[in-house]
Amino acid sequence: EAEVAQSPRYKITEKSQAVAFWCDPISGHATLYWYRQILGQGPELLVQFQDESVVDDSQLPKDRFSAERLKGVDSTLKIQPAELGDSAMYLCASSLVGRGTYEQYFGPGTRLTVT
C-alpha cells in the first residue's frame, strides 16, 4: 500500500538554527498539506499545495517558515530561525483531488525539538 514518506523522523535543533523537513506524497496525489501538531492538540494546517501552487498559506508564519513544491511532487518545509515554540510534530498529508472523497493520507511525521 502506498504511503506518504517524511524525513527526518526526529530532529533536535538549537533555537536560531535552520531546519528543513521533506515530504514525498503518494504518487498521483495532486494536493499536499503540511500540518503542525502540538502535543495534545489536533493538526493545524500550515500550507496547502495544489500541484506546485500554494492554495492556502494563511496560517504559515511567513517571517520564519517557507514551503515549496517545485515540481509538484515532493515538498520541503523550512524554518529559519527556529524558536522554542516551534517544538511540535510536523505532519505531511496528501489527497487525490477530484474524487468524491478528499480523505487525507498522513505521513509518519517529523518530531521537532528546539532547545
* Site for another protein contains 98 (CB under 8 A): no
* Site for another protein contains 44 (CB under 8 A): yes
* Site for another protein contains 106 (CB under 8 A): yes
Residue 8's CB is within 10 A of a number of other CB atoms, namely 13
Residue 81 beta carbon to another protein: minimum distance, rounded to whole angstroms: 27
Cβ proximity to another protein: between 63 and 103 the closer is 103
Closest CA to 77 of 32, 39, 42: 32
The sign of the torsion formed by the CA atoms of 72, 111, 15, 47 equals: positive
Residue 58 beta carbon to another protein: minimum distance, rounded to whole angstroms: 9
* Site for another protein contains 25 (CB under 8 A): no
Cα separation, 62 vs 74, whole angstroms: 20
* Site for another protein contains 61 (CB under 8 A): no
